[in-house]
Amino acid sequence: MAFNLKTVLSIFISVCLVSSHFANRCLCSIPTFFVNGGGFTPALGTWYGDPNGAGSGGACGWADDVRLPPFSSMIAAGNANIFLQGKGCGECYQIKCSREPYCSGNPITVTITDECPGACNDVPFHFDLSGAAFGAMANPGQADNLRNLGQVDIQFQRVPCNYGRTNIAFKIDAGTNPNWFATRIEFTEGDGGLRSVEIAPAGTQEFVPMNNIWGAVWVANIDSSFKGPYSFRLTSPINAVAVAINAVPMDYVPGQTYFSNVNF
C-alpha cells in the first residue's frame, strides 16, 4: 500500500514540476492532492470506545456533541495527514471496506472530530472510527464480527459535508468573559473547515479577526464596549463566505450552543 501511494505521488509531483498548466494550479501536498480528486484512496481503519459508541470530539473541541444529530456518532479520528493539526476538524469523508463476508462495500460518511496520534501515523492515512461508524460499514448481522477484527483495510475519499437542515452553530466556551470571547464552531457544510472567522458587535459590520487556537475553537480579545448580539463572517478554505447575523445574543451563557440561520 505504501509503495503504491509513493509511486502515485512521485508521478503527480513530476507532472506538477514539468507542466506549467499544473504548476499554476496544484498544491503538491498529500492532503490537497486527495481532496481535489482521484477517487477512493487506501487507508487503515480501526475503531475505539464502546462497540456501539459515539467516539469523541475531544481534539476538535466538540466533546460529547458527537453523540447527537447531525453527527449522530458517525465520526472518526484522523492521523496527522487527516487531522492536519486541527485544520481537518469538520471535514467529511466517505469510507468503505470490502473484506468478505464482513463488509458491505457501501460507503458511509463520517466527520473528522478527533485526532489519532502515535502509532496511527505508521501508515500514510489512518481513520480511527467510533464503534458505531465502524459497524456501519458491515453487512447486516456482521457488525460485531467486523469490530472483532480490530482493524480492516478501507478506501476513503473527501466529500462535501451535508447536515440537512442544521445550520452553523456556535458553542460558547465556558471560559468566555467580557475581555475574551471563545466559541467552538460546529456543523459547517460544504468544505467542512474554516479558513478564517471574524466577529462583529451589535449594530455594526466592522468585523474583527478571530484566532483559531486549536481544533474548531476560535477566540477574540475584546473589551466591555464590545456588546452582543454578535455576528460572524466565516470563510471556508475554498473562499466561500457565510455571514451569520446576530447569531449569539447579548445575554449569551457560556457553555450554551446558539444556532445561526445560515450555512455554506
pLDDT tens across 157-179, in order?
999 999 999 999 999 999 999 99
Boundaries of every domain in the chain: 36-159, 169-259
pLDDT for 9 beyond 60: no
Find where cell 460558547 sits.
172
Topology given in CATH for the domain delimited by 36-159: Barwin-like endoglucanases (2.40.40)
Confidence label for 205 from pLDDT (cuts 50, 70 and 90): confident
Mean pLDDT over the full length of the chain: 88
Region for residue 256 given its phi and psi (left: phi exceeds 0; alpha: psi -120 to 50; beta: otherwise):
beta
pLDDT for 147 beyond 90: yes
pLDDT digits (tens, 9 = 90+) for 48-90: 999 999 999 999 999 999 999 999 999 999 999 999 999 999 9
Nine-digit cell string for 203: 449594530
CA angle 61, 157, 37 (to 5 degrees): 120
Are the folds of 36-159 and 169-259 the same?
A: no
Predicted TM-score of the model (pTM) = 0.84
Rounded Cα distance between 26 and 32, Å, is 8
| Percentage of the chain modeled with pLDDT above 70 | 86
CATH of domain 169-259: 2.60.40.760
Rounded Cα distance between 61 and 194, Å, is 14
CA angle 162, 89, 74 (to 5 degrees): 50
- pLDDT score at 206: 93
Residue 1 CB neighbours (<10 A): 13
